[in-house]
Structure 1
């Protein structure tokens, strides 16, 4: 699915702000999240459209690591679900735009070649449990998507696709993934049990309280699936 966004601009700025459609996986940083997976869907000299799972809001600032340009800063100007429209603090150069487009093309080709690592989602199939479990267990293990990709010998976009429910690993990769996370395969596939989650949250709350020297009832834990 191609996702595009419309930004109002004057005729003089239209050429400069021409948007290029991409599918580029990069790293971002926002507030306390120093390693935030971000998908860039389109980009121009003045802004970009990104997708990420962080709870961002209008006027928030985010740093995004782009090819050639390096770490660039942007401000969120609109939000729609997991999609965020951002405006750069400083306009990108034509070279940076071309580098982003080239990297996107390479990633799309890499993603296509990595299909042997993933099984397609069956019609009507539901991978939401697996996707949510994988993300939760990976983060609990302290691993980034890049870490998992390197350990399994697959591409970064493959891991991103698994966590977004676009695909899931084939059986041999699934076993390797479970071994990497130190869990049985079944734990990646089952529905999270409310009692198990409550016990985990209570234990985590007590550990955080002891580490910070505050009362447990002052520790708030938010869980996203």
Structure 2
């Protein structure tokens, strides 16, 4: 589901950067505001829909119910959809308000950032456009039809596993970045980090710490 918010973009003033503000309270837009639809919001980020154009990194000051103002930055754009990452996680109190509840998104591993909310198709489109490449050009590089690439970006289909690696290489990203997967640290590095933290807290050397894993 979606919730409505109201966007106000202050035009550039001499010597000042353009400001963008968003608020959730109220039932109608005020003078100078446009209504936008928020599709997902979590402690770490949000996705909203608008006709306004944004660039990666653009800041937006957001007035949240019961939490005051927070700053977010554009993480990605895909057509009318804009993905934001908050500079600091927002309060769960805000997420629990009636005004936001219908758009709250929490994945199985916890709250989502804007990058995790981005679908595979959105990601392919964003990476393609960042390279200044058309769907036809990407199709030619991949040796597939134009409708195949269109299907990927509309989330109707996905490349076969063998083509997925080629797609990541052409778009200049890792497979994990293409699939939107979070980085997974090697088990040995995780254990070393835990051992160091335990030793510091206990006031002993790391060689005195033993970690056993039962499987």
TM range, smaller chain: 0.3 to 0.5
Report the TM-score, using the length of structure 1 for normalisation.
0.33
Report the TM-score, using the length of structure 2 for normalisation.
0.35
Name whichever structure is richer in helix by fraction: 1
Q: Indicate the structure (1 or 2) with the bigger Cα radius of gyration.
A: 2
